[in-house]
Amino acid sequence: MGVKQNETTLSAALTRSFLIDDFVDIGERYGIDFRFPAWSSCRRYAQDTRVVVQGEVEELTLSSGICLTNSNVRVLQPYETTSLHACPLYMLVVLEGAVVIRLSGKEYVVQAGMAFSARLGEHQTMNASHSADRHLRTLSLGIYPDTFSRQPLLHSLLEAWEENGSPTFLWPVPGYLLSGLHQPLHHALVGLPRQMMLEGVLLQLLGHGLQLRMQDSHQRTLPLAAQHGRLETIRQLLEQHPEKEYSLNELAQLAAMSSSSLRSKFRQAYGHSVFDYLRDCRLALARRYLQQGYSVQQAAWMSGYQHATNFSTAFRRRYGIAPSDLRDA
């Protein structure tokens, strides 16, 4: 759905059925081209009363200047959109379902828990596809010159965004931000408290996206030797302490990289993914424990496996024998 740029007050969420005529009206008001592939192009929309979506659509502009569309709908018929308006910073967050976006010849599948960020304009037209028979919950954020100019914070955000090339990228939204969105969006909050809570978490969301982009930009300009040193720190940590629990986000923070950068650069440097390497280190440690006479269960537990069955399966695939066979040899 579109973002109304000149809205100044919180509009009530509207539970209703949206017909083709409603989408045509929205497109005329907000500069969005809608297409409905399930219907013949020769059929007049005004004569068709079939429902496209059912649910709630809320449009608001927060005091910071962030324009937001909060949609919680059931898609009954597929539709496609082409965004024609200019937006220095656009972000789509998918909370449930999935949206397929095409921009500058590339396709992005934005799934639940993911965000898509881009600069939209005359040469950056975004196309999105919405499949039928699914529940879709999304947040569309836009920052426009006529709404952010009075806010120094958003002005600084756009400056930093442009300094980093106004990138188009897809990224995972941290769990704490997804949880933070839940209460102002879905609980019985009204008025100023709701707006303040929502605005706070949206500013955090924008800040996190900017941080990821700045980290990626830094990694591209970081000397190769420095990059390798950070990757080697992670590799040695996994090799020396494979029994510990790790998450990709924690390791990326330790390497001062984004999760995507660590994932790709680690594979390029060592020929394995981060967690394939961790698995091999755990199995090598477990093998030493078995050779020292520890039981299969003990070796599994001390090397970081919680379940002996999973350990035995991984061990057989890696070494071609069961761990019990090695212990009894």
Q: What six digits make up the tokens of 240?
A: 């020396």
Question: Residue 105, by phi and psi: left (phi above 0), alpha (psi -120 to 50) or beta?
Answer: left
* Residue 226 phi, psi dihedral angles, 5° rounding: -65, -40
Q: List Cβ neighbours of 43 (8 Å cut-off, separation of 6 or more).
A: none
Q: What is the pLDDT of residue 8?
A: 35
Residue 260's alpha-carbon distances to 69, 124, 220, in angstroms, are 28, 24, 13
Residue 217: its pLDDT value, please? 59
**Ranges under pLDDT 70 in the chain:** 1-14, 40-49, 145-151, 187-188, 215-226, 328-329
Using an 8 Å Cβ cutoff, are 187 and 225 in contact? no
Q: Quote the pLDDT of residue 86.
A: 82
Phi, psi of 291 (to 5 degrees): -65, -25
Residue 305, both tokens: 């496996």
Q: Between the CA atoms of 74, 79, 83 and 88, what dihedral angle is there, to the nearest 10 degrees?
A: 40
Residue located via tokens 């497109």: 27
DSSP state string for 272-317: S-HHHHHHHHHHHHHHHHHHTT--HHHHHHHTT-S-HHHHHHHHHH
Q: What is the pLDDT of residue 282?
A: 94
pLDDT at 49: 54
Q: Cβ distance 188 to 178 under 8 Å?
A: no
pLDDT at 12: 42
CA 217 – CA 257 distance, rounded (Å):
10
Ranges of CATH 1.10.10.60 domains, the chain? 223-329
Give the C-alpha separation, 11 to 102, whole Å: 30
CATH number of the 14-220 domain: 2.60.120.10
The string of pLDDT tens digits covering residues 212-266 is 777 665 555 556 666 778 898 999 999 999 999 999 888 988 888 888 888 888 9
Token output for 125 = 């037209």
Return the CATH number of the domain spanning residue range 223-329: 1.10.10.60
Cα four-point dihedral sign 179, 176, 119, 98: negative
As a dihedral over the C-alpha atoms of residue 172, residue 174, residue 175, residue 176, rounded to 10 degrees, the angle is -160
CATH 2.60.120.10 in the chain, residue ranges: 14-220
| Total-model pTM | 0.61
Question: What are residue 172's phi and psi, to 5 degrees?
Answer: -80, 135
